[in-house]
Amino acid sequence: MIGFVGAQLTQLLLDLFPKLRIITTDIIEPPKLTSDERLRVVKRDLGDFKQVEGLFEGEKIGGIFALQYVHPPCDS
């Protein structure tokens, strides 16, 4: 699920770079934060090569932002 930082970063990049296209991914369907057609949201587990294969096909990649939530360890 896209978090606060990811949502803010996505909107900022769309606002600053009018030709930029963004793909957001998550293991559950990410929310479509805007109706902007430059934003593509897809359900993918980036830890699974088969799900990632072809994700960027036909795209010119200028950069990747990887924002993950790291769950704190449970006290047992």
pLDDT tens track for 40-52: 999 999 889 999 9
**Domain carrying residue 6:** 1-76
- Whole-number pLDDT of residue 53: 92
- With b for 16 or more beta-carbon neighbours within 10 A and e for fewer, the 42-68 pattern comes to eebeeeeeeeeeeeeeeeeeeeeeeee
Per DSSP (E only), the strands in 20-71 are 22-26, 39-43
Per DSSP (E only), the strands in the chain are 22-26, 39-43
- The helix (H) or strand (E) run that includes residue 9 is helix 4-16
What is the domain count for the chain?
1
pTM of the model: 0.78
CA atoms 19, 33, 6, 44: torsion sign: negative
